Amino acid sequence: MATALSGYFDAHYGAQHVLPDAGYRPSANEEFMNPVQLAYFRQKLLNWKEEIVRESQGTIAQLKSGPLREADLTDRASSETDWSIELRTRDRQRKLVAKIDSALRRIESGEYGFCEVTGEPISLARLEARPIATMTVEAQERHERNERVSRDD
C-alpha cells in the first residue's frame, strides 16, 4: 500500500529502504537523522499541521454560520469573549503552522535535528516532544537568558 510518506521516501531515498513500522520511535542506537528518522519526523509534522488546519476550518465554518444572536447582553459578552479567545488561539496556530513548514524545509535541506546555533544534534527526546525545535535545550536556555537581559535593559 503506497502512502504519501512512502512516495516521499521512495523519491528521496530509493524504494529499497524500509519505512518505519507503526510503532517505530527514533532511538539513540541508530544513526542520527537517518532516512527512517527523517521520514518519521516528517510524518509527525505533517500530521500535526493537518490537525491544526482541520481545527481552523471548523472555526471558519462557525464564523460563516452567522453573527452572534444572544438576546441577553451578558450572554452576548460571554460569546464574544469566547470568540476572541478562539481567534487568538487560531492566530497562535497560524504561527505554529509557519514553524512546522520551516521544520519540513529543514528536513528537505538536511538541516533538521541540528541546532541552528551550535550545529550539535538536538536530542531525540526534545524533537519527539517539540518537533519544531531549532536549538538544543542548552542553546535555547542561553537564548532565553540573553533575551531576558536585553528586555531588562
Note the pLDDT tens digit of each residue in 112-137.
Answer: 999 999 999 999 999 999 999 999 99
Note the pLDDT tens digit of each residue in 12-39.
Answer: 444 334 467 788 999 999 999 999 999 9
Number of neighbours of residue 125 by Cβ within 10 angstroms: 11
**pTM strictly above 0.85:** no
CA angle 63, 68, 71 (to 5 degrees): 170
Helix (H, G, I), strand (E, B) or coil at 12: helix
